[in-house]
Amino acid sequence: MLRTIKINGQALPLKPSANFLFYYRHARLSGEDAPDFQSDLKRLADMEKLRGEFSKIDDDNALDVLQKTNIFEFTAIIRRMLWTFAYAADKSIPPFEEWCDALEEYDAVEASNTVMELVNDNFFLMLGVPKPAAVQNA
């Protein structure tokens, strides 16, 4: 279940955890309320429906597409999930805000795909049941 992606040119191990929801509440900036995983997951699902809009971005409509898809909210949720899965794999990583400040370069598409795979893995882990073979091979 361990996954690895490149962040700032270095491998970052990520793993699901039965404590995911607890860790996720700590993935917030100073002054922010604790994030709500269920709400964030619903927002991601809603934004996923708009993925095709990104292929239509050009110099004339970039602002409209960004507002319509709310890419900033999408990336904030992905960063929260990345940090949470990274923290599950390595408790020595910096606190969320410090970790985000150090982010310089990563493949957002790979990160979002990996996060969604881990969310799926985490679902079965939290239920305490094996992941069905049909889901593993999908």
Can you give the residue ranges of every domain in the chain? 3-136
**What average pLDDT does the segment 67-75 reach?**
74
Of the segments 18-27, 36-45, 115-124, which one has the largest average pLDDT value? 18-27
| Res. 127: pLDDT tops 90 | no
Higher pLDDT, 138 or 70: 70
Determine the Cα–Cα distance for residues 92 and 74; give it in Å rounded to an integer. 26
* β-strand partners of 56: none
Query: What tokens appear for 94 in the block?
Result: 């910096």
Determine the Cα–Cα distance for residues 30 and 66; give it in Å rounded to an integer. 25
What pLDDT score does 50 carry? 61
CA 35 to chain centre: 13
What pLDDT score does 126 carry? 77
Higher pLDDT, 110 or 52: 110
